[in-house]
Structure 1
Amino acid sequence: MAIKMQKYGTLRGEPLYEFILTNQAGMAVHLLNYGATLARVVVPTASGPLDQILTLPAIEDYAKERNFLGGTVGRVVGRLPGHVWHRGEREVTLLAGEGDNAIHGGPEGLDTQVFTGTYQEGESSDRVVFTFVDPAGHNRFPGTVKTTVTYTLHENNSLTFALHAATDEATLYNPTNHVYFALDGLAAGVAGSTLRLAADYYGPLDDHHLPSAGWAPVAGTPFDFRTGAKLGDRIPAVLAGQGFDHPFLLKAKAAAVLTGQNGRKMALTTTAPALVIYTANHFDHTGIPHNIGAHSGVALEAQIAPPSGPDWSSITLLPGEPYDLETSWRFFE
């Protein structure tokens, strides 16, 4: 295996680096210390190398405009309704970013930060470790949180994303990796891809795209992927045809298998209890990601279930109780 590290720019006076990991099978993974971002996953095919995720035209583009492509999104991914956290008699007012909701960790979330990056070479796997210390008060979150993100490339063409964090004060924490998969390539989109998902329940969304009604059975709905279904057959029936943006409650670590029209597969395993499916609904070939349109890819975001209760206890991180999440993606035919 091999690792290459190269500087490609600076941001706020800090160097930006790309790390390229390559295994003996020819799979190459490109990582950025900007946002602890997964920028490219290239696998060998009979017709040549094929990128398996949505990417921007140049690595310099990732820091030009917030796009969440492959980034480590947090402290809290998704929407926090009302942006006010009630912790006992204390109220913490976060920054609203979508109407009255806090979203994706605030305007300067983890995906916009420059991490410290180091790499470690091994006989059967190589890894890159990214670290960022988020100070108390940043984006109005209490507590100083140290986040460590580790990407490990294995010889069996699997890539593991491991996230560890610890805080010195009670805070909210529910990050994920926000990579979009496109197994047939960017131009093909994901309408022809088949998803199989180990989930009996999903979270219906209200008019503000918030899962405010608890869990509902997938049986008899467009959300039933237990035996596999084409995304393109289900997207027209969801959110008035916009697509999926919904959480699913997982019943197994072997959570999902995505299969492209070309027969290539990606199997996802995770220690997370939930998975949010998002079919890239907002992309419209404008801005920095001008090469990406709606439904060009699908994000399978492994994370804690959506916050519930007035104190959001399900996503509260406490001192002395570190956060650990591990997700692996294996690519094969």
Structure 2
Amino acid sequence: MKLTFKKYGQLQGRDLCEFVLENDHGMSVKLLNYGATLEDVAIPVDGAKRHVILSLKQAEDYSKERNFLGGTVGRIAGRVWHGQWKNGDHIRQLPINDGENHIHGGFGTDQQVWSFRPEQGEDFVSVHFSLLDPDGHNGFPGNLQLEATYTLNNSGELLYDLTAYSDKLTIFNPTNHTYFCLDDLGTKIDQTKLFLDADYYLPVKEDGLPVGGMEAVEGTAFDFRMGKSMEDALKSGDAQIALRKGLDHPFILNGQKTAAKVVASDGKVSMKIGTNAPAPGNDLREITLEPGKNWQWQVSWKFEY
């Protein structure tokens, strides 16, 4: 196992650093302390490196404008209607930055420079990123302490662990915003095969907010329980998919150890996903964080190649 890092710039009076994690089987991961970002995942395939997440050309590009690629997005990842959170008789107004609604925390955690602590063991390498988001920032109550840890091991597994603590009751529902493409930078995304252990999904309105209750996936384009290509869903003519110009919907996971599996069109790379959240993007987590309570979200991406 190997872990290296380099400084590549400064922002907000802090050093910007890029980390490279490598296991003993040729898999490598790049991380940035800007936004606690997953910058790159490379898998050895046929004697070459296959890059399996969407990335920018260089680390310096990530802070030029907000792009969400691989970032730790919060405090809120999803949308808040009219940016208003009602707590008892008090209404908190959050920034309006998505039509008439709030999304992705305003000037979010993915746009801030995190502190870091590398760690190296016999069969793993990790980077622990930490951030204090102050009381009142973007209208959110509470001093929020965050720690995001990425760990690569020799089993081809990349682990992501996010913990949070607040000194006030606050609204909180983050995510990791990585876009995976196992066929090397989006060349054949339609042919990627997806298995998703979810019996229900949430239909949404034109603005992306849920319509109401959940609906069964059975008999719809959203049924990935037996596995099918993304093309089958995207070209199905389903009204919900047409409304959002693709799949942009929360799925309700059944809670199994493997929540999803993705297989490249050539079958040479696959990825199993596990999480302790009820939805793949964490959209349905309890959205309030009580003061003094630790909050934890875990996800694992296990690659086979």
Question: Under TM normalisation by the shorter chain, which class is it?
Answer: over 0.9
Task: Pick one of 247, 252, 273 that aligns with 1:249.
Answer: 252
Q: 2:259–2:274: 8 Å Cα contact kept in structure 1?
A: yes
Q: Deviations over 1:59-97 (max 9, x none)?
A: 110000101000000001021112111101111011111
Give unmatched runs, 5+ long, in structure 2.
none
Name 2:277's counterpart in structure 1: 272
Name 2:265's counterpart in structure 1: 261
Name 1:49's counterpart in structure 2: 49
Q: Distance in 1 between matches of 2:23 and 2:108?
A: 31
Q: Distance in 2 between matches of 1:45 and 1:157?
A: 13
Q: Give the AA of the match of 2:257.
A: K
Give unmatched runs, 5+ long, in structure 1.
276-300, 307-313
Q: Distance in 1 between matches of 2:263 and 2:270?
A: 4
| Length-normalised TM-score, structure 1 | 0.88
Aligned length: 299
Structure 2 residue 127 is matched with structure 1 residue 128: yes
Name 2:284's counterpart in structure 1: 305
Q: Distance in 1 between matches of 2:41 and 2:147?
A: 21
Name 1:164's counterpart in structure 2: 163
State the secondary structure of the residue aligned to 1:191.
helix
Superposed CA RMSD in Å reads 1.2
Q: 2:77–2:283: 8 Å Cα contact kept in structure 1?
A: no
After TM superposition, list the pairs within 5 Å mapping 1:1-333 onto structure 2: 1-106=1-106, 108-236=107-235, 237=237, 238-240=241-243, 242-251=245-254, 252-263=256-267, 264-275=269-280, 301=281, 303-305=282-284, 314-333=286-305
| Length-normalised TM-score, structure 2 | 0.96
Q: Distance in 2 between matches of 1:235 and 1:30?
A: 31
Residue identity over aligned pairs, in percent, reads 43
**What is the Cα deviation at residue 321 of structure 1?**
1.8
Q: 1:20–1:28: 8 Å Cα contact kept in structure 2?
A: yes
* Pair 172,267 (structure 1): closer, same or farther in 2 beyond 3 Å: same
Q: Give the AA of the match of 2:92.
A: V
Q: Distance in 1 between matches of 2:142 and 2:100?
A: 23
Q: Distance in 1 between matches of 2:293 and 2:233?
A: 40
**What is the Cα deviation at residue 239 of structure 1?**
2.3
Q: Give the AA of the match of 1:316.
A: T
Q: Distance in 1 between matches of 2:175 and 2:44?
A: 27
Q: Distance in 2 between matches of 1:111 and 1:241?
A: 24
Q: Distance in 2 between matches of 1:26 and 1:71?
A: 24
